[in-house]
């Protein structure tokens, strides 16, 4: 049996009766058993997955009504709450936390008969770009296990790439869905802020983050987006968009579209192989009938400083809830004074989380607020208005997802600033709220390169159509593991 | 700019026991130096990003019971109380 099938192939085979959910889930679990000792995409596995698959097959045989997912195995980033399965955020702080409820995205997937196969590894509380900051140890790139898989949704990217599930949900605060998508050669979408409910996503930076799907094809991403998008009473930042069908008319092409290449993202500091892949992507779009022009977005060079100021500020405030009374690490209160007790508990945060809390508190403190936080908010406005101007001239924007190729585990871990700068091409979408997608495009030196497309807010349909057109021009090898 | 005293003050504010402050001093200082970039940006307007929210989709003002008994999920309980450390 082939695990490397798309969602539409899976659905077809189940409908035709040539495949059962039980067979597919069993084979997937076998695959996880085989490769995950090396890759470490998962923090926990759903022990009831096989039983749930059997139930779905039974319903199918009994001609009962079934949801669109028909028992397909999906992995979930471990900062999204799942009732009955641990949600650890890859932190020692929450190593035994089981949420008493499902996130809205999980309820939606379950109502469509998806099977949560397991919880995927991440950088602690989604803070990182390599998955090396997980308390449970790093995930490894299936294209070369000595290399990082990107992050923070590294486990999600690895599990989709290495055929340990059919699709995954990640969360994208500064590029955390698109980075592992690029480094692991899968598709990853950061939707418009407000398109998907964040209810049940453990908060890191509320004004910036979004849940997003990862899958092997653009078509599969559109399928998942159809299920999880939409207004939610539990999240007042969600917007009612009237439920467009993202999977419909995916193949309309890009003829007559105008695509802007962000000049600041293809110049100095970009790896040669990444540069040539970007040029190649442009010429393929031109062959498909699109017009490519150069667009300058000079505020982009300040995006990393603005983003890390704002995200750290929001993180330091969000993580204040880990006071060991509402949430936190379980140990006895005997012999501790209140402040001492909380400090002791919070010493269980890993180094990157501690760093962000220090930074966030610093930029918000009296005397520095105007210099950092307020200035960063203004830069955020500037980025947003420059993007709005750009979208008056072009339909889509293009840039490499990450300026460099995947690198070795441990190579940058002692220099947090170097890791922050990896996000330079992805952050503008988070600060402005616009959607962006990473499409697997090339392999250089045995390592994947992703191309990123941006569209204006709530233009996911147009974005997916262009991404689909680009993916159709590629013929990439299968994952080597 | 960032010295041991500053890191200790911040760690006190966020109530985290930092066992190795030296490690954080260099890193946080380097990052803050990079943030200085923000100071050089020329912004002509004083306008901050405004988020427009439509308020026609608020839920009905009706009590919806949570399906689970949340109290049972708490660990440090004595009857229905949470045991907190001493405040002195």
Q: What is the CATH number of the domain that holds A16?
A: 3.90.1300.10
Mean pLDDT score across all residues of chain A: 96
Of A119, A148, A143, A113, the closest CA to residue A131 belongs to: A148
Q: Which domain holds residue B33?
A: 4-38
> Which residues, 6+ apart, have CB-to-CB distance to A88 below 8 Å?
A43, A44, A78, A94, A95, A96, A97, A119, A135, A136
Q: What is the mean pLDDT of residues A351-366?
A: 94
**What mean pLDDT do residues A445-449 have?**
98
% of residues, chain A, pLDDT over 90: 90
pLDDT over 70 (residue B56): no
Is B86 within 8 Å of A343 when comparing Cβ atoms? no
Task: Report the complex ipTM.
Answer: 0.90
At residue A24, does pLDDT exceed 80? yes
Mutate which of A98, A264, A314, A362 to test chain B, going by most B C-beta atoms within 10 A?
A: A362
**Alpha-carbon gap, residue A54 to A50, rounded angstroms:** 6
A81-118: per-residue pLDDT in tens?
999 999 999 999 999 999 989 999 999 999 999 999 99
Write the pLDDT tens digit of every residue in B11-48: 899 999 888 888 888 899 999 999 999 988 888 766 66
For residue B39, the model assigns a pLDDT of 85
User: Which residues face A44 on adjacent strands?
Assistant: A119
Does A94 reside within a domain?
Answer: yes
Pairwise CA distance, residues A52 & A305, whole Å: 46
Closest chain A residue to the Cα of B32, Cα to Cα: A359
Domain-embedded: residue B59? no
> A86 lies in a domain?
yes
Whether residue B80 lies inside any domain: the answer is no
Burial class (CB in 10 A: 0-12, 13-18, 19+), A258: middle
CA distance A348 to chain B (A): 9
Reported as a pLDDT band with limits 50, 70 and 90, residue B51 is low
For residue A190, being part of any structural domain is answered with yes
Residue B76 lies in a domain: no
List the domain range (segments joined by +) for residue A103. Answer: 7-253+402-472
Mean pLDDT of A228-243: 92
pLDDT value of position B40: 84
Over 70: is that where the pLDDT of A386 sits? Answer: yes
Answer whether residue A278 is part of any domain.
Answer: no
Nearest CA distance, A347 vs chain B (angstrom): 5
Number of domains observed in the structure of chain B: 1
Q: Which tokens sit at A382?
A: 């500037």
Question: Which residue is it, tokens 């067979």?
Answer: A23
- How does strand A42-45 pair with strand A115-120? antiparallel
Residue B16 lies in a domain: yes
The answer as to whether A125 is a domain residue is yes
Residue B25 lies in a domain: yes
Weakest mean pLDDT among A73-77, A200-204, A319-323: A319-323
Strands A187-190 and A115-120, how do they pair?
unpaired
Residue at A269 is within a domain: no
The pLDDT value recorded for residue A421 is 95
My answer on whether omega of the bond before A278 falls inside 30° of 0, hence cis, is: no
**Residue A391 domain flag:** no
Our count of domains for chain A comes to 1
Kind of pairing, strands A258-262 and A291-295? Answer: parallel
Q: Is A374 inside any structural domain?
A: no
Candidates B9, B20, B27: best to mutate against A (most CBs of A within 10 A) is B27
Per-residue pLDDT, A475: 97
Query: For position B57, what pLDDT does the model report?
Result: 65
**A73 φ/ψ angles, rounded to the nearest 5 degrees:** -80, 125
Please state, rounded to an integer, the average pLDDT across all residues of chain B: 80
Taking contacts as CB-CB distances below 8 angstroms, the residues of chain A near B6 are 362
């Amino acid at each position: 049996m082939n695990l490397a099938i798309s969602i539409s192939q899976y659905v077809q085979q189940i409908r035709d009766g040539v495949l059962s959910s039980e067979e597919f889930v069993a084979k997937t679990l076998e695959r996880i058993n085989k490769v995950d000792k090396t890759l470490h995409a998962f923090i926990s596995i759903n022990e009831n997955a096989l039983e749930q698959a059997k139930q779905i097959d039974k319903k199918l045989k009994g001609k009962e009504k079934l949801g669109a997912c028909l028992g397909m195995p999906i992995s979930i980033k471990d900062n999204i709450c799942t009732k009955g399965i641990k949600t650890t955020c890859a932190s020692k702080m929450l190593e035994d936390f089981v949420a008493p409820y499902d996130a809205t995205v999980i309820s939606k997937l379950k109502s469509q008969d998806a099977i949560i196969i397991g919880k995927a590894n991440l950088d602690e509380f989604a803070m990182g770009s390599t998955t090396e900051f997980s308390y449970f140890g790093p995930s490894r790139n299936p294209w070369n296990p000595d290399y990082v898989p990107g992050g923070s949704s590294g486990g999600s990217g690895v599990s989709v790439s290495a055929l340990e599930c059919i699709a995954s949900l990640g969360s994208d605060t500064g590029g955390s869905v698109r980075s592992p998508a690029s480094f692991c050669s899968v598709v990853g979408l950061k939707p418009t802020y407000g398109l998907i409910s964040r209810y049940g996503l453990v908060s890191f930076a509320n004004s910036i983050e979004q849940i997003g799907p990862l899958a092997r094809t653009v078509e599969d991403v559109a399928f998942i987006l159809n299920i999880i998008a939409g207004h939610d009473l539990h999240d007042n930042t969600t917007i009612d968009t009237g439920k467009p069908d993202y999977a419909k008319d995916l193949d309309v092409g890009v003829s007559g579209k105008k695509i802007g290449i962000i000049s600041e993202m293809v110049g100095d500091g970009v790896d040669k192989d990444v540069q040539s892949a970007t040029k190649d992507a442009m010429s393929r779009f031109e062959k498909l009938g699109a017009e490519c022009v150069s667009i300058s977005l000079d505020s982009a060079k300040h995006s990393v400083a603005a983003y890390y100021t704002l995200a750290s500020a929001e993180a330091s405030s969000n993580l204040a809830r880990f006071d060991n009374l509402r949430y936190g690490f379980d140990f006895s209160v005997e012999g501790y004074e209140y402040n001492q007790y909380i400090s002791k508990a919070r010493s269980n945060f890993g180094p990157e989380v501690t760093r962000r809390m220090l930074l966030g508190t610093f930029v918000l403190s009296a005397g520095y607020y105007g210099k950092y936080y307020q200035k960063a908010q203004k830069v955020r406005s500037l980025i947003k208005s420059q993007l709005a101007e750009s979208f008056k001239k072009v339909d889509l924007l293009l840039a490499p997802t990450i300026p460099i190729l995947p690198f070795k585990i441990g190579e940058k871990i002692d220099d947090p600033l170097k890791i922050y700068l990896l996000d330079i091409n992805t952050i503008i979408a988070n600060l402005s709220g616009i959607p962006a997608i990473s499409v697997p495009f090339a392999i250089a030196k045995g390592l994947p390169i992703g191309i990123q497309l941006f569209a204006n807010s709530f233009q996911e349909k147009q974005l997916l159509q262009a991404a689909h057109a680009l993916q159709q021009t590629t013929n990439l090898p299968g994952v080597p593991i | 700019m960032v010295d041991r005293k500053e890191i200790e003050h911040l760690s006190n504010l966020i109530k985290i026991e930092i066992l190795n402050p030296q490690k954080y001093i260099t890193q946080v200082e380097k990052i803050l130096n990079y943030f200085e970039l923000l100071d050089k940006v020329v912004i002509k307007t004083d306008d901050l990003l405004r988020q427009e929210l439509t308020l026609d989709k608020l839920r009905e003002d009706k009590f919806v019971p949570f399906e689970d008994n949340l109290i049972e999920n708490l660990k440090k309980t004595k009857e229905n109380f949470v045991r907190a450390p001493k405040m002195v």
